[in-house]
Amino acid sequence: MKLIAIEEHFLTKEVRDEWQKNADKDAPTHKLHFGEIEDRLENIGNSRLQLMDETGIDVQVLSLTSPSLHNLGRESIDLAIQTNDYVVEIIKKTPDRFQGFAALPMSAPKEAAKELERSVKNLGLKGAMLCGRTGVKNLDHKDFWELFECAEALGVPLFIHPQIPQKAVRDIYYSGFDELTNLAFSTFGLGWHYEAGIQFVRLVLAKVFDHFPNLQIILGHWGEVILFYTERLASLNSAAKLDRPFIDYVRQNLYVTASGMFSHAYLQRSVGIVGTDRILFSADYPYQYRPGRDARNFLEATELSKEDREKFAFANWERLNNAIKGE
């Protein structure tokens, strides 16, 4: 059975250098990119293909790792073009093994919409990977609505990936321990997941999906906390005077993916809420790479029917791709 992993990361030297020069000096995410992780992020060649074979993944959908270009200024416009052109050249070399999401210059929202259109229509990319807010602007800010309109018109999904909370938030909620613990707590330990999940909630509350009803969002890590609080989030129905129940937005505008969290309990919870048509496979390479045929073993051990296992492994993703209007 074909296995497509949709949240698989890379990093270029140019982006890394730009982070170090111009990004928020108070955001220490770069400390997560070192040694073997950094080597694997920057290598999209034979060594990556060998590890894909080893873990049982046939296709990776490549995306620029967090925080992408979100915290850069207008210089990110040219860098987005350069990055997307680069990843497409990689895809062309091995088109049966790689696909890609676009990186967008979110500090320049109008240019971000233009780059999404170029990336889909001219380059054949499958949507875009966003990293939540840009500076202090959350994704529901009106500046980004042109991007949502563009994504809906093109029929491509937008993946909301976590990024580290702002320093003021980290200082209040995620500090008081040693440096490594603080960093882990504010990122992969917990902070990342609230950051990304809250962005989806804000899109609902801002009625983005009422204006763009066919816009599709992907959240990693089995829904970035959202699926585990759907009952409580239902209380927003009346408070925010939502046009539809909150759960309807979850079931009609959201796809969720594993992000290397190979938990059968989380899979069952996700299926129970969004159904088998809205689950996608991902391994979160290289961060969650584990040897021993890990990805394939998880797929084969699920209690899903053969049809539903195919949906999870590749068919749902391919159905999303078939809706793309720009290619």
SS3 content of the chain, % helix, strand, coil (to 5): 55, 10, 35
Please state, in angstroms and as integers, the Cα–Cα distance from residue 49 to each residue in 15, 59, 185, 257, following that order.
23, 9, 32, 22
pLDDT of residue 25: 60
DSSP string spanning 187-254? IIITHHHHHHHHHHHHHHHTTHHHHSTT--EEESHHHHTGGGSHHHHTTHHHHTT-SS-HHHHHHHHE
User: Is-contact 115 84, C-beta < 8 A?
Assistant: yes
The predicted pLDDT at position 31 comes to 64
Residue 66 has pLDDT above 70, yes or no: yes
Segment of 64-68, 74-78, 300-304 carrying the highest mean pLDDT: 300-304
Contact between 302 and 264 under an 8 Å Cβ cutoff? The reply is: yes
Strand partners, 280: 257
Region 178-194 average pLDDT: 94
In this structure, which amino acid lies at residue 111?
Answer: E
Q: Say if CB 230 and CB 250 are below 8 A apart.
A: yes
CB 123 within 8 A of CB 82: no
Sequence ranges of the domains in the chain: 4-322
Q: Which of 17, 58, 78, 284 is catalytic?
A: 284
Average pLDDT, integer, range 254-269: 98
Task: Report the distance separating Cα 250 and Cα 231, nearest Å.
Answer: 12
284 in active site: yes
What is the pTM (predicted TM-score) of this model?
Answer: 0.96
Residue 263: both structure tokens together? 């938990």
**Would you say residue 34 has pLDDT above 70?**
no
Per-residue pLDDT, averaged over 92-98, amounts to 98
* pLDDT, average across residues 278-299: 96
Tell me the average pLDDT across 186-194.
95
Helices and strands, counts by H and E, the chain: 18, 8
pLDDT band at 33 (very low <50, low <70, confident <90, very high): low
Asked if 217 contacts 253 with a C-beta cutoff of 8 angstroms, the reply is yes
Q: How confident is the model at residue 24 (pLDDT cuts 50, 70, 90)?
A: low
pLDDT above 90 coverage of the chain, percent: 89
pLDDT bracket for residue 71 (50, 70, 90): confident
pLDDT at residue 84 tops 90: yes
Top-tier CATH class for 4-322:
alpha beta
28 has pLDDT over 90: no
Q: What is the mean pLDDT of the chain?
A: 95
